[in-house]
Amino acid sequence: MNPQRLILILGDQLTQTISSLSDANKSTDLIVMFELVSEATYVRHHKKKLVLVLSAMRHFARELRELGWRVHYHELVAQGDATVGEPNNFTEAMAALLEQSLTQSVSQVVVTEPGEWRLRQEFDQWSSTFSLPVHIRADDRFVCSRTEFANWADSRKQLRMEYFYREMRKKTGLLMADDKPCGDKWNFDSDNRKAAKADLFMPSPWRCEMDEITQQVVELVQRRFSQHFGDIDDFFFAVDRAGALTALEHFVSSALANFGDYQDAMLEGEPFLYHSLLSPYINLGLLDPLEVCQRIDQEYRNGRVPLNAAEGFIRQIIGWREYVRGIYWLKMPEYVGLNYFSATRPLPEFYWTGESNMACMAAAITQTKEHGYAHHIQRLMVTGNFALLAGVDPVAVHEWYLQVYVDAYEWVELPNTLGMSQFADGGLLGSKPYAASGNYINKMSDYCGNCRYNVKHKTGPDACPLNALYWDFLARNERLLASNPRMGQTYATWRRMSEDKQQSYLNSAADFLQTL
Ligand SMILES: Cc1cc2nc3c(=O)[nH]c(=O)nc-3n(C[C@H](O)[C@H](O)[C@H](O)COP(=O)(O)OP(=O)(O)OC[C@H]3O[C@@H](n4cnc5c(N)ncnc54)[C@H](O)[C@@H]3O)c2cc1C
Ligand code: SF4
């Protein structure tokens, strides 16, 4: 038997152009894919996320076989004593495979670098564990390589996304007119803060019919992961590249034009509004982030969507998405332990049930349970804002976000949660905390009209809890925040209040926090 290479493809590397396959040979190399209980349970992922990832992996393996590749695929089984002989991690799975005669003459292992620190640590041990050359290749599905980001960061005192984003615009040529940004402005965010009105013509996301493979995975998840958070009914995500491309075209034709205007809006009963729901596909590898942005750029240049929509969308991908990935690899493993405000409160139980009298929280959590989805402003300004104001332990918040969303992978989730939403990094990612009272939610949504609390009341049992929690958060953290130039006015307002008024905010907040 000729020496062969084992090429490991991970569950979020479902791309034929992945770097591990760049020089692969169909007749001598063996592609290896493992479904592992450990990956499904290191946090207990939402049931829909498990269905999505496992079904997409199975579809990708089938696609590779149809193209003539040899694929070794370890499948989780739904029935019998499923745990007997199950590998506990990738190392055990790989060791078992290497022991099989089929792979006696393995010359090397090739893998594209994983997106998570814990797996990188594990794979780094493999050369010595297996006494084999193990090649961990860069993941080139990003516009900015890890080295390029580190060089960019090295030359700066403050790592602001906006400046990084401009570099990425120049590098990709997206929405550029020669060397200038289209519309002579880099950022149209100020146009993108309209509140939505309930509208008969609200688009709905692309819904993919389940095929036999997906139905089998649904059965597997129901049997083996029934204790995990989230509903499994009504699974509509695409599970292969063809479906993901259809979802992209559906978004472009039905929602993109309004994406900018209503990017920050929230509406009762409308979980998706004009958002794309493309993050699960981009993160899995079914869509390439640059191809998505080029499609949006083309739509703008053809005059079919306004610039604030195209720019707002492209900024999220070549700006925020690339930037948080750069921060993750620059700052791990210390990053996950940061806790600027020393927050220690356990995560309130209603994050798992959605049973809250706060209409905004109930809406965001209930749709998260149903679909594994909430859009950015719900994650940041509803569930994130509440945890920040209430002083919840940032690790508990991080683990919640990693569990409950179908698009959650630590490299993108952690900086968004710990940095952007909880300010636990003390301002590395954002210049000030995203803290808000009920007023913001009332402006951007219709939740308050259906709430048991009154958003106009500042203190007392009927007042919107966020109003008192907001000032309580600021008072509690004055030493850490008062010198922040962007917080000056807010603290000036706090100091102008009478002592009685300040105290009534603090008392109201304490009363509410006791109920958690
Ligand atoms: C606390 C918190 C946790 C988050 N966790 C995740 C996560 O686990 N996985 C994830 O992909 N995104 C995460 N985000 C970012 C963002 O909320 C989601 O990418 C977005 O809601 C996905 O829905 P969509 O595809 O409809 O996005 P759209 O609103 O349609 O945006 C378009 C695309 O831009 C990208 N994008 C937008 N905002 C961000 C951002 N801040 N960081 C990275 N990419 C972005 C996504 O690829 C998204 O598909 C998180 C944000 C917050 C505040
Ligand atoms: S009143 Fe307060 S708690 Fe209720 S929906 Fe509005 S912001 Fe949320």
Q: Please indicate whether residue 381, judged by its CB atom, sits closer than 6 Å to ligand 2.
A: no
**AA identity, residue 374:** A
| Nearest-atom index, ligand 1, CA of 409 | 8
Same domain, 130 and 174: no
CATH number of the domain bearing residue 118 = 3.40.50.620
Supply the residue whose CA is at minimum distance from atom 13 of ligand 1: 413
Same domain, 259 and 376: no
| Nearest-atom index, ligand 2, CA of 451 | 4
Number of domains in the chain: 3
Q: Is residue 226 part of a domain?
A: no
**Average pLDDT for 344-364:** 98
Same domain, 96 and 8: yes
Q: Which pLDDT belongs to residue 202?
A: 84
Domain endpoint, select from 300, 331, 362: 331
- How far is the centre of ligand 2, averaged over its atoms, from the C-alpha of 510 (Å)? 18
Q: Is residue 339 part of a domain?
A: no
Q: Please indicate whether residue 322, judged by its CB atom, sits closer than 6 Å to ligand 1.
A: no
Q: Which pLDDT belongs to residue 38?
A: 94
Q: Is residue 303 part of a domain?
A: yes
Q: How far apart (Å, rounded) are the C-alpha atoms in residues 203 and 280? A: 19
Same domain, 472 and 408: yes
Same domain, 125 and 9: yes
Ligand 1: residue of 325, 416, 417, 422 to mutate (most ligand atoms within 8 A of CB) is 416
Residue length of the chain = 516
Range of the domain at 188: 146-203+255-331
494 φ, ψ (degrees, to nearest 5) = -60, -45
Residue pair 407/12 in contact (Cβ under 8 Å)? The answer is: no
Same domain, 390 and 452: yes
Evaluate if residue 199 carries a pLDDT over 80.
Answer: no
Residue-wise pLDDT for 433-468, tens only, equals 999 999 999 999 999 999 999 999 999 999 999 999
**Which ranges of 433-487 does DSSP label H, i.e. alpha helix?**
438-444, 465-476, 478-481
Ligand 1: residue of 262, 376, 392, 425 to mutate (most ligand atoms within 8 A of CB) is 376
Same domain, 362 and 316: no
3-state secondary structure at position 346: coil
| Nearest-atom index, ligand 2, CA of 382 | 8
Q: Is residue 157 part of a domain?
A: yes
Same domain, 91 and 181: no
Q: Please indicate whether residue 282, judged by its CB atom, sits closer than 6 Å to ligand 1.
A: yes
Q: Is residue 323 part of a domain?
A: yes
Q: Please indicate whether residue 401, judged by its CB atom, sits closer than 6 Å to ligand 1.
A: yes
Helix (H) or strand (E) holding 397: helix 394-404
| Nearest-atom index, ligand 2, CA of 467 | 2
Q: Return the HEC string of 103-143.
A: HCCEEEEEEECCCCHHHHHHHHCHHHHHCCCEEEECCCCCC
Q: Is residue 228 part of a domain?
A: no
Same domain, 47 and 86: yes
Q: Please indicate whether residue 444, judged by its CB atom, sits closer than 6 Å to ligand 2.
A: no
Domain endpoint, select from 117, 137, 157: 137
HSE, side-chain direction, 13 A CA sphere, residue 1: 13
Q: Which pLDDT belongs to residue 384?
A: 98
Ligand 2: residue of 444, 455, 459 to mutate (most ligand atoms within 8 A of CB) is 455
Closest among 126, 9, 47, 53 to 409, alpha carbons compared: 53
Domain endpoint, select from 95, 117, 137: 137
CATH number of the domain bearing residue 279 = 1.25.40.80
Closest among 255, 256, 218, 260 to 237, alpha carbons compared: 218
Residue-wise pLDDT for 72-100, tens only, equals 999 998 865 556 678 999 999 999 999 88
**Average pLDDT for 374-381:** 98
Residue-wise pLDDT for 11-35, tens only, equals 999 999 999 999 999 999 999 999 9
Closest among 333, 339, 328 to 426, alpha carbons compared: 339
Ligand 2: residue of 377, 452, 464 to mutate (most ligand atoms within 8 A of CB) is 464
CATH number of the domain bearing residue 474 = 1.10.579.10
Q: Which pLDDT belongs to residue 487?
A: 96
Same domain, 327 and 376: no
**CA Rg, the chain, in Å?**
24
**Which ranges of 182-277 does DSSP label H, i.e. alpha helix?**
212-224, 241-254, 256-259
- How far is the centre of ligand 1, averaged over its atoms, from the C-alpha of 355 (Å)? 25
Evaluate if residue 166 carries a pLDDT over 60.
Answer: yes
Same domain, 152 and 120: no
Q: How far apart (Å, rounded) are the C-alpha atoms in residues 473 and 291? A: 42
- How far is the centre of ligand 1, averaged over its atoms, from the C-alpha of 278 (Å)? 9
Q: Is residue 240 part of a domain?
A: no
Calculate the average pLDDT of the chain.
Answer: 95
Q: Which pLDDT belongs to residue 378?
A: 98
Q: Is residue 355 part of a domain?
A: yes
Same domain, 105 and 150: no
